[in-house]
Amino acid sequence: MKHVENLRNFILGTDWWTDCDDAVALRILARAHASGMVRLLGVVINACMELSVASLDAYLTAEGLSGIPLALDREATDFGGNPPYQRRLSKLPHMRENADGENPVTLYRRLIVSAERPVDILEIGYPQALAAFLASPADEISPLSGVELVSQNRSRLWMMAGKWDENPGRENNFCRNIRAASGGEAVCRLWPGEITFLGFEVGRDILSGGKLPPDDLLAQILSDHGSPGGRSSWDPMLVDLALMGDASAAGYTCISGRARVDARTGENYFTPAPDGPHRYVVRKLSNDDYRDRLNWLIAPECDFHAFYR
Ligand SMILES: [Ca+2]
């Protein structure tokens, strides 16, 4: 285990919406937190349905993370679709409902101001709440703007979004609606440091979660989603990449440059440049290598410390 003073701090943004790979990703993060490898400071839900906080609070509680600060973007009700696994989760023990969810901008500002170390921001959902934080002005929490807080903290951003093997590319987290597109444009323009993107093309063909025992809660979520044999691994691959903290060690090469998102369409563009602030990852291992790694990380018998040592 890494020494406690070297603990990395994470804040996760998740849509917790119609896809189930967020739940796979959260299991890995919960284990990283429980094992003392990182400190998960809080979670921002950036798509809102009536059971958003109740279902996520119940899942986090079941995964050993009760009481973690939770925020909810209550305005983000327009993504469409029918979230398939939240109702069953909301019947499990939990303490909080939507009314208890903090304002996302307040949560980002509060947690980053009080962090004593750089905070890694992980985003596996829609980017508008993160964009609103970046654009936030001075307030009673801090005299600094959101952008200034990120600069001062030296935060890094890891983001599952975009499709980078095409230019322009189209992917759900940027393209779902105008809220997602304008948020994506703002994050790419305003974020004052490094951004590492993991795109649609990276996770699509890696199906994880199909080897879980049937009585595992995560297996139930995958089944409720209609993916009992495993689901594309966009979000868990992003979390694993951020936990490794090093793209090469996590099994990727990187293309550096500058990313841009069209605020109206959500299409993403990339201009390569060796010294650019943005990069996207490209797989360098076989599909089976990534799948087996993720399946092990979520398995009941996984020795988490041994894996990330
Ligand atoms: Ca997601």
> Domains (ranges, CATH) in the chain?
4-308 (3.90.245.10)
Q: Give the model confidence (pLDDT) of 162-214 as tens digits.
A: 999 999 999 999 999 999 999 999 999 999 999 999 999 999 999 999 999 99
For ligand 1, the distance from its centroid to the CA atom of residue 143, given in whole angstroms, is: 32
Query: Computed over its alpha carbons, how large is the radius of gyration of the chain?
Result: 18
pLDDT tier for residue 2 given thresholds of 50, 70 and 90: very low
Residue 20: exposed, middle, or buried by beta-carbon count in 10 A (0-12, 13-18, 19+)?
buried
For ligand 1, the distance from its centroid to the CA atom of residue 3, given in whole angstroms, is: 31
Q: How far apart are CA 279 and CA 272, in angstroms?
A: 9
pLDDT at 5: 55
Residue 94: exposed, middle, or buried by beta-carbon count in 10 A (0-12, 13-18, 19+)?
buried
Structure tokens at 182: 């304008």
pLDDT at 17: 97
DSSP 41: E
Secondary structure of residue 70 in the 3-state scheme: strand
Omega into 143 within 30° of 0, i.e. cis?
Answer: no
Torsion over CA of 189, 191, 195 and 200, rounded to 10 degrees? -50
Predicted confidence (pLDDT) at residue 4 exceeds the cutoff of 90: no
For ligand 1, the distance from its centroid to the CA atom of residue 140, given in whole angstroms, is: 31
In this structure, the chain runs to a length of 309
For ligand 1, the distance from its centroid to the CA atom of residue 214, given in whole angstroms, is: 23
- The model carries a pTM of 0.97
For ligand 1, the distance from its centroid to the CA atom of residue 292, given in whole angstroms, is: 21
Q: What is the mean pLDDT of residues 25-41?
A: 95
Predicted confidence (pLDDT) at residue 221 exceeds the cutoff of 70: yes
Residue 240 φ/ψ, nearest 5 degrees: -60, -40
For ligand 1, the distance from its centroid to the CA atom of residue 177, given in whole angstroms, is: 15
For ligand 1, the distance from its centroid to the CA atom of residue 17, given in whole angstroms, is: 7
For ligand 1, the distance from its centroid to the CA atom of residue 25, given in whole angstroms, is: 9
Q: How far apart are CA 296 and CA 298, in angstroms?
A: 5
pLDDT at 308: 78
For ligand 1, the distance from its centroid to the CA atom of residue 5, given in whole angstroms, is: 30
Q: How far apart are CA 46 and CA 17, in angstroms?
A: 9
Predicted confidence (pLDDT) at residue 160 exceeds the cutoff of 80: yes
Q: How far apart are CA 136 and CA 130, in angstroms?
A: 10
Q: Give the model confidence (pLDDT) of 101-147 as tens digits.
A: 999 999 999 999 999 899 999 999 999 999 999 999 999 999 999 99
For ligand 1, the distance from its centroid to the CA atom of residue 125, given in whole angstroms, is: 4
For ligand 1, the distance from its centroid to the CA atom of residue 83, given in whole angstroms, is: 12
Closest CA to 175 of 105, 72, 79, 271: 79
Structure tokens at 30: 């919960």
* Ramachandran quadrant class, 16 (left: phi over 0; alpha: psi -120 to 50; beta: rest): left
For ligand 1, the distance from its centroid to the CA atom of residue 1, given in whole angstroms, is: 29
For ligand 1, the distance from its centroid to the CA atom of residue 124, given in whole angstroms, is: 5
